[in-house]
Amino acid sequence: MRLTLTAALATVAASPAFAASGPFFSLGNTDFVVLLAFLLFIAVLFYFKVPSLLGGMLDQRAAGIKSELDEARKLREEAQTLLASYERKQKEVQEQADRIVAAAKDEATAAGVQARVDLEKSVARRMAAAADQIGSAEAAAIKEVRDQAAAIAVAAARDVIAKQMSAADGNALIDDAIAQVDAKLH
């Protein structure tokens, strides 16, 4: 109501209102007619309760905005809850990944130690096999040397005996050998 009175007084007090000719309160004065039309317009607005309709529409709009804000606040809280949940899950997954990496490192270390032990055993077996081969080769070489020494000794003895023995001594040795064989067989 104050607003309308203030608007009416401003209209009356404005300098164009004084520019009209004739008395102010006559229908011949355009300013007075405009004032009456304006007041009639305001009265029609109040008669059809336009200000209360506008106020109701603004209240509905405010209620709608408030409900949207409440819904947005709820959505934000849900989003924060989801974010916290995902962060917690991410932390759990990271911890699990760290445990898996640590277990893999431990297994790799154990496998390295086992491989080292297996390598040492393999080297020891190969060294033993090599020592056995060396021993066999050494024994074979010694046997070969002995066999050759015996063959050389027999050949040398044959040569010496052949040079020193006569045919009669050879026949006597043959007869003696036959007698020894005959005595051993019977």
Q: Are residues 107 and 157 in the same domain?
A: no
Tens-of-pLDDT digits for all 186 residues of the chain?
665 656 555 565 554 545 556 678 777 888 989 999 999 999 999 899 998 999 999 999 999 999 999 999 999 999 999 999 999 999 999 999 999 999 999 999 999 999 999 999 999 999 999 889 999 988 888 888 888 888 888 788 777 777 777 777 778 878 888 888 888 887
For 162, the token pair is: 């052949």
Q: Quick one: 96 and 78 in the same domain?
A: yes
CB atoms near residue 34 (< 10 Å): 14
Do 121 and 148 reside in the same domain of the chain? no
142 to 136, 146, 148, 151: CA distances (angstroms): 10, 6, 10, 14
Place of tokens 């003895």: 157
- Are 45 and 38 in contact by the 8 Å Cβ rule? The answer is no
3-state helix, strand, coil in the chain (%, to 5): 90, 0, 10
For residue 173, the enclosing domain spans 139-185
Counting every residue written for the chain, the total comes to: 186
128 shares a domain with 52: yes
**pTM, entire model:** 0.39
On whether both 70 and 149 belong to a single domain, the answer is no
Alpha-carbon Rg for the chain, nearest whole angstrom, is 67
